[in-house]
Structures are given as C-alpha cells and as structure tokens.
Amino acid sequence: MRKTSGLIFLALLAGLVAYYFYPEPKPEGTTIDKLIVLKSERKLLAFSNGKLKKTYTISLGRNPKGDKQYEGDSRTPEGSYTINDKNPNSGYHKNLGVSYPDSEDIRQAKMLGKPAGGAIKIHGLRNGTGFVGKFHRLMDWTQGCMAVTNEEVDELYSSVPLGTPILIEP
C-alpha cells in the first residue's frame, strides 16, 4: 500500500511539473486588434485580422458571476471597452488598462449610491510572486481584473496597441 501511494504521489508531482513547464504557443510578431473575454470559461481570446491567434486562460475577480456594479464588489465588468493604457511598472508585473467605467457603468453605480470604481486591468502576477506561474489559474483572486502569467502579459503588452477593442462577455 505504501509503495502504491508513493508511486501515485510521484506521478502527481511529475504531472504538476510538466504542467508548470510545458510551453504554450506565442503569437510572436503579430499585432492583436481585438480581444474577447469569456468570463464563464476563464478565457481571453486574442485576434488579428479576424483570426484567433491565441487563447489565454485567466483568473478573474473573486466574485466572478455577474457584471461589475460598483467599486469593491470584486466582479469583472461585462461589456465593450478598449485598451486605454499600458503600465510597464505595475505592482503586477505589467498591465494593460481597460476603459471601464463607461457612462452607463457610472450611471448604474450611482443608482446604487456607490462609486463605479476603475483601474480594471489585464495584468500579470503580483511583483515577487511570478514563480506561481500557471498555478494562479486555480482560483479567481483579483479585485475585478483579468490575470495572466507574467510571460503572457509580456506577450499582450508588446502585441496589443492602445485603442484595441475588448469585449467582456459573461
């Protein structure tokens, strides 16, 4: 029984190591001109000239179901936005800013008597924790942003220009 348990443990460990180090394809030399986030699938799709170039697995806000309603609800917004900022010196490796909130987001938050919030980003891992890598995907942990690995945010940072549309779907 001990021998079987040891073999199962080693197989599991080998699987985790393979997952961590298995390389994923990169859309090198491509300009991404459209992003689509499928929240329910935890996917970010990157397109160039109408062709899917890469699918990223993401983590979302800790309360991922439903549209962001106000600052502090830990939800990721839903709707049509644009990439409106890039920060190479983020507290989360690098980030791309999303144009949330729009006028409708602000109106809805005011109806609740709360601020809409802002600072929604596509970002990497908190500085100093990049070693977590793909394992960050095991849970939703952001305040409402979309998180990818540091290597993935590097790819997006270099291939997604300001003004790129991003559609965030439920």
pTM of structure: 0.85
pLDDT of 15 above 80: no
User: What pLDDT score was predicted for residue 127?
Assistant: 94
Contact 153, 23 (CB under 8 A): no
Over residues 112-127, the pLDDT tens digits come to 999 999 899 999 999 9
Quote the distance between the C-alpha of residue 90 and its chain's center: 14
CATH code for the structural domain at 2-169: 2.40.440.10
Confidence (pLDDT) at 77: 96
Nearest to 58 by CA among 161, 144, 162, 158: 144
Residue 80 burial by Cβ neighbours in a 10 Å radius (0-12, 13-18, 19+)? exposed
Catalytic residue among 39, 53, 123, 136: 123
Annotation says 136 is catalytic: no
2-11, 44-53, 82-91, 98-107: least confidently modelled range: 2-11
- Whole-number pLDDT of residue 10: 67
Residues in Cβ contact with 22 at an 8 Å cutoff, skipping those fewer than 6 apart: none
Residue 37's pLDDT band (cuts 50, 70, 90): very high
Mean pLDDT of 63-70: 92
Q: At 47, is the pLDDT very low, low, confident or very high (cuts 50, 70, 90)?
A: very high
Per-residue confidence (pLDDT) for residue 92, from 0 to 100: 95
In Å, what is the CA distance from 16 to each residue of 20, 53, 114, 134?
6, 26, 43, 10
pLDDT of res. 29: 74
- Catalytic residue status for 168: no
**Domain range summary for the chain, segments of one domain joined by +:** 2-169
Identify the active-site residue in 145, 148, 156, 166.
145
Residue whose entry in the numeric block shows the structure tokens 């890039």: 86
Is pLDDT of 89 > 90?
Answer: yes
Tokens, residue 83:
């990439």
Give the residue with greater pLDDT, 115 vs 2.
115
Residue 23 has pLDDT above 90, yes or no: no
pLDDT at 5: 73
Q: What is the mean pLDDT of residues 62-91?
A: 95
